[in-house]
Amino acid sequence: MIKEGDLIVIWIDGRRIYLTKVDPKKRFSSDKGYIDMENVVGKDFGEKVQLSTGREAYILKPTPMDIYKGLKRPTQVLYPKDVAYILYLLGVSPGATVIEAGTGSGFMTISMAYFLGKESKIISYDVRQDTQNSARKNAEILGLGDRITFKIGDIRERIDETNVDAIFLDMPDPWNAIETSYASLSPSGSLVIFVPTVVQVEKTYLSMKDKFIDVHAEELMSREYQLKENAVRPKSIGVWHTGYLIYGRKLLKGD
């Protein structure tokens, strides 16, 4: 049963999906009505509740997609389609040590902490304290703060950790962080990079090709469908290009 402090989703319709924590002293409000949170305590996930207007809503257990939609975003976040594939490319499992730069709003950081579990070490670097503070708050709200080490630092100059399993870079000039990434990675460790333009892809590839093997670049596209009786078809508006993913594995020798 739902208790005080639980993270829940209040689902009203496809456009009104709200991520919130249960606080019996507070009231959840929307344009479709409100509900006193004390009335949510003791209910089961999946139950229907009634808002003040008589409109029905459902109490659901949050999924990573709900978390993605509910995060506070001082910066642009990676889309779930890219995050899922990045996790696959990183090739890591519970117990791994992963370096990330930059932190941004923290959705990739949180995703790694969520899927890799308590045994793993997620170390996230950023040069901006303000955005990292927001990411830290997001992680704490979700109960994942103790799985992540946040660091302020420029990885183009230095990465403190060595022999790490994988590194993910989301920064404007990743080609300037290839040397430090190479030094930090364990042999055969994966380096995955996200960039938005083809110019960045080329510059990054040229900086990687002598130190990494199996280097390739990809982009992913996702298309949602409109679901209506006798009118199922692709939606007219969707997410097409988001960015390019570059991947490689460290060679034991860079020559």
- Answer yes or no: is 154 a known binding residue: yes
The boundaries of the domain holding residue 128 are: 67-250
> Does any domain span residue 33?
yes
**Shared-domain flag, residues 143 and 34:** no
Q: Is there a domain that residue 109 lies in? A: yes
Contact by Cβ (8 Å): 167, 99: yes
Both 73 and 106 in one domain: the answer is: yes
Asked if residue 224 belongs to a domain, the reply is yes
Phi and psi at residue 194, in whole multiples of 5°? -115, 125
Q: CATH number, domain at 226?
A: 3.40.50.150
- The reply to whether 6 sits in an annotated binding site is no
30 and 76 in one domain? no
**CATH assignment at residue 49:** 3.10.330.20
- 145 and 209, same structural domain? yes
Residue 237: pLDDT band (50, 70, 90) is confident
Same domain for 173 and 211, yes or no, is yes
d(CA 95, CA 121): 7
CB 148 within 8 A of CB 168: no
Q: Is residue 232 part of a domain?
A: yes
| Statement to judge: residues 126 and 232 lie in one domain | yes
Cα separation, 244 vs 190, whole angstroms: 16
Question: Residue 36 annotated as binding?
Answer: no
Q: Is residue 95 part of a domain?
A: yes
Note whether 94 and 186 are same-domain residues. yes
CB 8 within 8 A of CB 60: yes
Among 20, 38, 62, give the residue marking a domain's end: 62
Residue 255 has pLDDT above 60, yes or no: no
pLDDT tens digit sequence for 101-116: 999 889 999 999 999 9
> In this predicted model, what pLDDT tens digit does every residue of 126-183 receive, in sequence order?
999 998 998 998 898 888 999 999 999 999 999 999 999 999 999 999 999 999 999 9
Higher pLDDT, 74 or 18: 18
From its phi and psi, is residue 5 left (phi > 0), alpha (psi between -120 and 50) or beta? left
Please identify, among 24, 44, 62, the residue that sits at the C-terminal boundary of a domain. 62
Shared domain check, 44 and 74: no
72, part of any domain: yes
Same domain? 39 vs 132:
no
Q: What is the mean pLDDT of residues 188-194?
A: 97
Same domain assignment for residues 17 and 87: no
pLDDT digits (tens, 9 = 90+) for 41-80: 999 999 999 999 999 999 999 988 887 877 766 666 788 9
Total domain count for the chain? 2
Residue 1 lies in a domain: no
pLDDT, tens digit, 9 for 90 and up, residues 240-252: 789 999 999 999 8
Please tell me the predicted confidence (pLDDT) of residue 73: 64
Boundary of a domain, candidates 62, 84, 101: 62
Omega of the bond leading into 33 within 30 degrees of 0 (cis)? no
| 44 lies in the same domain as 114 | no
Asked whether residue 47 falls in the same domain as residue 79, the answer is: no
Three-class HEC string of the chain: CCCCCCEEEEEEECCEEEEEECCCCCEEEECCEEEEHHHCCCCCCCCEEECCCCCEEEEECCCHHHHHHHCCCCCCCCCHHHHHHHHHHHCCCCCCEEEEECCCCCHHHHHHHHHHCCCCEEEEEECCHHHHHHHHHHHHHCCCHHHEEEEECCCCCCCCCCCEEEEEECCCCHHHHHHHHHHHEEEEEEEEEEECCHHHHHHHHHHHCCCEEEEEEECCCCCCEECCCCCCEECCCCCCCCCEEEEEEECCCCC
Is 45 among the domain residues?
yes
